[in-house]
């Protein structure tokens, strides 16, 4: 792998490992259906290149409707036969817990695949993506035999049992920014509650999905319960979303495609659709904040993490005009820490954008910001082009107004827009003037203001004086066009279960 900078010893080790994977042709882009690795029915593939340096990684199965049919059939068969769906929760727990262990045991391999596939720094794949995916599976494993059903407070002449039952076959369609983790957020609750799953990973980062499914088989998950169909959205994705035998769809991706999911459900079997979509989160710093330096560090860390390719990235920094110059100066002091580097170097803080098209999208937004009159005060350029990969410097725009495209649309790149406000009412109005409502952050030393503003913000999660806390125990999802579903926490179980009431007559009362 080429790089503009001298390699550290650890980077050399990871580069050697990557080279060995390629030389020994150990990358496997095939589907996994009914417990078997397989090519697409018509033998079609597409080439997957690494955004790190543009090199070809492997051929990936280009699944289409017949492959999706086979995967859904296998999933339905497994469900009806009860090999998983009718297992006791404690038995499912043991298999899922083993699977989580295996994910951790294969941490290096999975992290390397993820980094090669979508360009994030290896340190993040190792310390964030793999452990959080394993933790998610483990948490739902442990939760599922502790969730009780209900008995309704009916008259004594009858007993009404309210039980959760698995919905059946779940289609999961996920994006490329956290491929393993977004898959785990669907797989954990869906499998723990006894469903079968057909997973369609993004064509931009498909490699870890089938490997996860292989590890699940090794852990004892019955064949057919978890199937993977790589391919394009308009082919494999559309076929899955339109399928008449899919009972529920867990979708994470753009708002544009989320709209289509609702149309597909309406055009097919009215399957339940849970959309987890985009964001344009506001990070509000008030003049009474006593933690301005930490606020600047936090917003920089959050917008530049994962190359800005995070749905909840705080891409709008709203600052009171009296402290704005100071806050911007402190954000700019953070920028040097996030210069893009070799994603295979564990010291790298920011890696490559996922592909050339995303590079052009991000550069296009930077151009539009300049064109609309915002001041680019940091970054704004492509770098490391000599590597053959796709890198953009951390970028800060000052003097942004909320109607500019860079303030309204999700860029999904390392671009921060600074918007100044005059008072609390204006800050809340600006934050809420967005079609999205995923997350927000409020920085104030006054608890009344923090509560008041947190309550007024139309967002699924509001942080106060921080942005980085996150845990599998809390729901993740948005208001408005950020979606309708909630991943994580016990609330996610609702998406993958039907509520059934059974009335029983009680004689002789």
Q: How far is the CB of 174 from ligand NAD (least distance, A)?
A: 6
77-113 burial string, b = 16+ CB within 10 Å, else e? bbbeeebbbeeeeeebbebbbbbbebbeebbebbbbb
Instruction: Locate 332 and state its tokens.
Output: 């700019």
Instruction: Locate 153 and state its tokens.
Output: 């407070």
Instruction: Locate 309 and state its tokens.
Output: 């390719």
Of the pair 68, 103, the CB lying nearest ligand NAD is at 68
Q: Which of 121, 179, 224, 279 binds ligand NAD (CB under 6 A)?
A: 279
Quick check: 372 and 407 in contact, CB under 8 A?
no
Rounded Cα gap, residues 415 and 468, in angstroms? 18
Q: Which of 114, 129, 342, 410 binds ligand NAD (CB under 6 A)?
A: 410
Q: Which of 175, 224, 341, 389 binds ligand NAD (CB under 6 A)?
A: 175
Output the DSSP codes for 160-210.
EEEEEEE-SEEEEE--SSSHHHHHHHHHHHHHHTT-EEEEE--TTS-HHHH
Rounded Cα gap, residues 341 and 55, in angstroms? 17
Of the pair 199, 285, the CB lying nearest ligand NAD is at 199
Of the pair 76, 260, the CB lying nearest ligand NAD is at 260
Please confirm, yes or no, whether 235 is among the known catalytic residues. no
Rounded Cα gap, residues 87 and 94, in angstroms? 11
Active-site hit among 114, 311, 410, 424:
311
Rounded Cα gap, residues 5 and 410, in angstroms? 31
Q: Does 324 bind ligand NAD (CB under 6 A)?
A: no
Of the pair 125, 177, the CB lying nearest ligand NAD is at 177
Phi, psi dihedral angles at 234 (to 5 degrees): -75, -5
Q: Does 29 bind ligand NAD (CB under 6 A)?
A: no
Rounded Cα gap, residues 56 and 50, in angstroms? 6
Q: Does 199 bind ligand NAD (CB under 6 A)?
A: no
Query: What part of residues 474-493 is at the interface with ligand NAD (CB under 6 A)?
Result: 476, 478, 482-483, 487
Please confirm, yes or no, whether 311 is among the known catalytic residues. yes
Of the pair 174, 328, the CB lying nearest ligand NAD is at 174
Q: Which residue has the tokens 């050697």?
A: 16
Per-residue binding letters, 441-480, with ligand NAD (x by CB under 6 A): -----------------------------------x-x--
Listed ranges 23-31, 87-95, 199-207, 343-351: which one lies at the site for ligand NAD (CB under 6 A): 199-207
* Count, residues near ligand NAD per rule CB under 6 A: 32
CA-based nearest residue to 282, from 292, 269, 295: 295
Of the pair 64, 482, the CB lying nearest ligand NAD is at 482
Q: Does 200 bind ligand NAD (CB under 6 A)?
A: yes
Q: How far is the CB of 445 from ligand NAD (least distance, A)?
A: 30
Instruction: Locate 473 and state its tokens.
Output: 């125990």
Of the pair 269, 322, the CB lying nearest ligand NAD is at 269
Active-site hit among 203, 235, 238, 276:
276
Q: How far is the CB of 89 from ligand NAD (least distance, A)?
A: 26
Quick check: 411 and 309 in contact, CB under 8 A?
no
Per-residue binding letters, 128-167, with ligand NAD (x by CB under 6 A): ----------------------------------------
Q: How far is the CB of 387 from ligand NAD (least distance, A)?
A: 23
Long-range contacts of 337-340 (CB under 8 A, 24+ apart): 337/300, 338/300, 338/304, 338/394, 338/414, 339/383, 339/393, 339/394, 340/307, 340/383, 340/384, 340/391, 340/392, 340/393
Of the pair 9, 244, the CB lying nearest ligand NAD is at 244
CA-based nearest residue to 278, from 241, 245, 315, 307: 315
Of the pair 427, 438, the CB lying nearest ligand NAD is at 438
Rounded Cα gap, residues 268 and 128, in angstroms? 37
| Torsion angle (degrees, nearest 10) of CA 133, 189, 83, 28 | -30
Q: How far is the CB of 436 from ligand NAD (least distance, A)?
A: 9
Q: How far is the CB of 379 from ligand NAD (least distance, A)?
A: 21
Q: Partners of 462 in the beta sheet?
A: 440
Rounded Cα gap, residues 248 and 85, in angstroms? 15
Rounded Cα gap, residues 104 and 131, in angstroms? 7
Query: What part of residues 286-315 is at the interface with ligand NAD (CB under 6 A)?
Result: 311
Query: What part of residues 219-278 is at the interface with ligand NAD (CB under 6 A)?
Result: 233-234, 237-238, 241, 252-254, 257, 260, 276-278
Per-residue binding letters, 411-440, with ligand NAD (x by CB under 6 A): -x-------------------------x--
Query: What part of residues 341-360 is at the interface with ligand NAD (CB under 6 A)?
Result: none
Rounded Cα gap, residues 498 and 383, in angstroms? 50
Q: Which of 203, 342, 345, 424 binds ligand NAD (CB under 6 A)?
A: 203
Q: Does 328 bind ligand NAD (CB under 6 A)?
A: no
Q: How far is the CB of 248 from ligand NAD (least distance, A)?
A: 15
Quick check: 78 and 222 in contact, CB under 8 A?
yes
Site of interaction with ligand NAD (CB under 6 A): 173-177, 182, 200, 202-203, 233-234, 237-238, 241, 252-254, 257, 260, 276-279, 311, 410, 412, 438, 476, 478, 482-483, 487
Give the residue numbers annotated as catalytic, written as ranges: 276, 311
């Amino acid at each position: 792998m080429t790089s503009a900078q001298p390699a550290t010893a650890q980077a050399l080790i990871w580069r050697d490992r990557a080279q060995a994977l390629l030389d020994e042709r150990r990358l496997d882009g095939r589907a996994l259906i009914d417990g078997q690795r397989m090519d697409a029915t018509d033998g079609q593939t597409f080439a997957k290149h690494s955004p790190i340096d543009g090199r070809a990684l492997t051929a990936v199965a280009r699944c289409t409707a017949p492959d999706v049919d086979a995967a859904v059939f296998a999933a339905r068969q497994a469900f009806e036969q009860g090999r998983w769906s009718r297992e006791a929760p404690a038995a499912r727990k043991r298999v899922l817990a083993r699977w989580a262990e295996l994910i951790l045991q294969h941490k290096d391999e999975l992290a390397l695949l993820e980094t090669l596939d979508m360009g994030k720094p290896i340190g993040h794949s190792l310390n964030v993506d793999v452990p959080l995916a394993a933790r998610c599976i483990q948490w739902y494993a442990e939760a599922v035999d502790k969730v009780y059903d209900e008995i309704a407070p009916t008259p004594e002449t009858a007993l009404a049992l309210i039980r959760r039952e698995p919905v059946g076959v779940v289609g999961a369609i996920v994006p490329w920014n956290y491929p393993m983790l977004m898959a785990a957020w669907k797989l954990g609750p869906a499998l723990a509650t006894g469903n079968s799953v057909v997973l369609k990973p993004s064509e931009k980062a498909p490699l870890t999905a089938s490997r996860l499914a292989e590890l699940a088989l090794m852990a004892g998950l019955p064949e057919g319960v978890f199937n993977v169909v790589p391919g394009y959205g308009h082919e494999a994705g559309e076929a899955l979303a339109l399928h008449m035998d899919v009972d529920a769809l867990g979708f994470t991706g753009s708002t544009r495609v989320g709209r289509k999911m609702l149309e597909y459900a309406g055009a097919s079997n009215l399957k339940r659709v849970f959309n987890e979509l985009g964001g344009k989160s506001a990070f509000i710093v008030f003049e009474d904040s006593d933690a301005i330096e930490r606020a600047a560090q936090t917003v920089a860390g959050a917008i530049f993490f994962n190359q800005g390719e995070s749905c909840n990235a705080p891409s709008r920094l709203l600052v009171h005009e009296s402290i704005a110059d100071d806050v911007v100066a402190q954000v700019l002091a953070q920028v040097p820490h996030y210069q893009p580097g070799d994603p295979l170097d564990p010291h790298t803080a920011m890696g490559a954008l996922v592909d050339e098209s995303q590079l052009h999208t991000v550069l296009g937004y930077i151009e539009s910001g300049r064109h609309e009159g915002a001041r680019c005060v940091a970054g704004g350029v492509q770098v490391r082009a000599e590597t053959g990969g796709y890198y953009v410097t951390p970028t800060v725009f000052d003097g942004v107004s909320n109607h500019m495209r860079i303030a309204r649309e999700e860029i999904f790149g390392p671009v921060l827009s600074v918007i100044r406000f005059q008072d609390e009412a204006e800050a809340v109005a600006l934050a809420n003037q967005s079609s999205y409502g995923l997350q927000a952050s409020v920085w104030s030393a006054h608890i009344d203001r923090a509560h008041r503003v947190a309550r007024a913000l139309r967002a699924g999660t509001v942080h106060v004086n921080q942005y980085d806390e996150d845990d599998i125990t809390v729901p993740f999802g948005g208001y408005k066009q950020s979606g309708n579903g909630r991943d994580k926490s016990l609330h996610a179980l609702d998406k993958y279960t039907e509520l059934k009431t059974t009335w029983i007559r009680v004689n002789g009362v």
